[in-house]
Amino acid sequence: MIAVVSSVLAQASEWVSPTIDWHALAPEIVLVIGINIVLLLDLQLPDSKKWAMASITGFVLLAAFIPVVTLWVIGDDTRSLFDGRYVIDEYALVLKGLFLLAAYVIVLMSQTELEEGGYYQGEFYVLLLCSVLGMVMMASSRDLVSIFVALELLSIPAYMMAAWRKRDEKSNEAGVKYYLLGVFASAVLLYGMSLLYGATRSTLLTDIGAALSDGDLIALEVVAVVFVLCGFAFKISAVPFHTWAPDTYEGAPLPVTAFLSVASKAAGFVALMSIIFIAFPGADGVSEPLIWTLAVLTMTIGNVLALRQTNVVRLLAYSSVSQGGFILMPLAYAGDPNAGGSALNAVIVYLLVYAFMNLGAFAVVMAVTRKTRSAEMSAFGGLFGYAPGLATAMTIFFASLAGIPPLGGWFAKFNAFRAVLDAGTTSAYVLAAIAAVNTVIAAAYYMRVLRIVWMDDAPDGDTSPIVTPAPIAAALGLTVIGTIVLGVLPNIVARFGDVDTLTGALGS
């Protein structure tokens, strides 16, 4: 017994050894502590004071953001932990900041809806923080096991949040569909990872990259690459793995829909980037044609289906699918020596801009539906007449999603097109041409909504003003500022993806 205890203490001393960089792990540690604080306070606070849970959750997210800033400011060195399986670098810090900021906006959007809906609040914020913890871990994960654990940590709470309105049939349907298809996708992904481990004898991404570096893949390796990419395609709602998205987005509470369309999607892209740039550079003969095809299908089918929608939430759902195709587009040339660095830059910048404009669009929809009780397009008629501020904000977000200068969306799309054209191949020019056509198609349905907002009459002649709660107004303010500033001053984010720093940090 003494020998066993001594062995356990010896192993524990290794884990608490001063060689572990606690500063590098500070964002994750703050979130873990915050999850326990929110859970314990929820057990103690009476229902009349549950409103405080949103403020506490916001403070936790801001507290986790502080070490991200300090890590960014004090050093440029890459911090590698656990034998290179967990890395903190500029790439990881940018994305951790994105996840924390997006989650903070979601908290602002959630507060009023949860209070007025009469739903328990503490559990919601615990689940939200757990999901954000998975996303923050994803940004630093460089191992198949840690990537899968982070992916499930962010996904499982999201399944429950999608079905948060327990007495609403559509919300229950949203949660069940998301859960069943999510479990299936996780099984496909895990099977691909197991094949990848069997073929390369390692779960470390750098080791996998070295094993596949010659580009001469055997059948087992090809199947493994395809299964892994298909598993992640579900997480980013790429066509044909998008079927869960429209019903889930429509049935889930609007803050959860915004969370899934931005933060959850971004986490999927982060994992996909790490896999492609570190583990699959030698498998570009398999991965790049597959991603090229997924990008074309995703942007085209997403746009075509969006044209048919009469519900703004479902339109934004298919818009989110289509935007995923534009984000995928540069990754089709990740292994190209002329386009690899700019592809990484394009995806990171697009994710940052997309977070602001899409969260803002959902915040406007939340504010309007509080009065109209409907997300049908006709319910937005005459919005400029009785809520000019919301109409203007909606115009900014939808114009940015369409890629109209000088808003942030134009720079995101410009970067994506530039990354593709840098490859200089025939397939790249074809992809750019298809994307250009899809940009025009997307503008058509965004402008249709704006025409209703500016030119149609209010439904039932009701022109009473909309009272926007302070948290939603704060979320709108943050997202409007971000969308405009990133379009007018794109250099603020243009360096996030610098070839010398980020591709080096990823091991390219």
Instruction: Summarize pLDDT for 10-34 with one digit per residue, the tens.
Output: 443 344 444 677 888 899 999 999 9
- DSSP states of 139-170: HHB-BHHHHHHHHHHHHHHHHHHHT--TT-HH
Tens of pLDDT, residue by residue over 400-451, are 999 888 888 888 999 899 999 988 888 999 999 999 999 999 999 999 999 9
Among residues 98, 111, 16, 15, which one has the least CA distance to residue 64?
98
Residues 6+ apart with CB under 8 A from 344: 273, 277, 330, 334, 497, 499, 502, 503, 506, 508
Q: Is the pLDDT of residue 89 over 80?
A: yes
Distances (CA, A) of 96 to 29, 104, 172: 13, 12, 30
Give the tens place of pLDDT for each residue, 287-301.
Answer: 889 999 999 999 999
CA dist 296 to 240, 322, 328, 336, Å? 11, 9, 9, 19
* pLDDT at 496 exceeding the cut of 70: no
The confidence band for 8, taking pLDDT boundaries of 50, 70 and 90, is: very low
Tokens representing 483? 């969308």
Higher pLDDT, 188 or 494: 188
Q: Mean pLDDT across the stretch 250-262?
A: 86
ω into 240 cis (within 30 of 0) = yes
Predicted confidence (pLDDT) per residue in 96-146, tens digit:
999 999 999 999 988 887 777 656 677 889 999 999 999 999 999 999 999
Residues 6+ apart with CB under 8 A from 508: 277, 278, 281, 340, 344
Sign (positive/negative) of CA torsion 374, 449, 453, 458? negative
pLDDT tens by residue, 448-469: 999 998 888 777 766 778 888 8
What is the residue extent of each domain of the chain?
283-508
Percentage of the chain modeled with pLDDT above 70: 91
3-state secondary structure of 476: helix
Quickly tell me which residue has 């915004």 as its tokens: 258
Strand partners, 132: none
- Amino acid 364: pLDDT: 92
How far is C-alpha 254 from the chain's CA centre? 16
The pLDDT value recorded for residue 508 is 40
State the Cα–Cα distance between residues 253 and 274, nearest whole angstrom.
Answer: 31
d(CA 342, CA 419): 5
pLDDT of 185-234, one tens digit each? 889 999 999 999 998 888 899 889 888 887 778 888 899 999 999 989 98
For position 76, what pLDDT does the model report? Answer: 62
Does 88 have pLDDT greater than 50?
yes
Residue 27 confidence (pLDDT): 92
Considering the entire predicted model, what is its pTM?
A: 0.90
